[in-house]
Copies of this chain bind each other. A is one copy, B any other.
Amino acid sequence: MPFTAGGADDEGSPIYGVKIPAGYREWQVVSVAHEAGDIPDIRATLGNPVAMKAFRDGTLPFPDGAIIARLAWDFVPSEENNKAFGRSQSFVAGSPKEGVQFMVKDSRKYASTDGWGFAQFFDGKPADEAALKGCFSCHEPAKARDFVFTRYAP
């Protein structure tokens, strides 16, 4: 199964010890977004079944076991689509970029960060401790939604 990433022997993230959840690419989509700027991307936020149920039910805080994944790809103009549309308007997902990020809810294990553990992986390798130190503080503005920026897109 080429789309199943991670496994028991993989290296976990620093600080939080989060491993790549097996099969995360098969999870349902919470929403999508575009980050413009110097290195534009297009991204999708996926959730495991526990997270998706919470998003749909509006349950806050997210229950233990919820995992949220952020995938991102290069933001690439599509000449092919533009031809079909008859004008230049279309941007699609290119190569994966910026790694994949996870938020894992475990209210005991991650009590000091309001129950969330964070991780980022590049080609299966965890980002270093410096990269993870800002995760929790950066999510602080979304505290009212249990530190999750992404809203469910119906």
Contacts and interface: CB of A to CB of B under 8 A. Distances in A.
Main secondary structure of the interface of A (DSSP, over half): mixed
Interface residues of A, number: 45
Nearest to A139: B84
A46 B33 contact: no
A124 to B, nearest CB: 13
B2 A92 contact: no
Contacts of A59: none
Interface stretch (A12-20, A23-31, A107-115, A125-133): A23-31
A28 B31 contact: no
A130 B32 CA distance: 30
A33 B84 contact: no
Contact of A91 (B36, B52, B80, B81): B36
A64 to B, nearest CB: 22
A149 B32 contact: no
Contacts of A27: 28
B37 A89 contact: yes
A12 B96 CA distance: 37
Interface of A: 2-3, 25-29, 31-37, 42-44, 46, 52, 56, 71, 73, 75, 78, 80-81, 83-85, 87, 89-93, 96, 138-139, 141-142, 149-151, 153-154
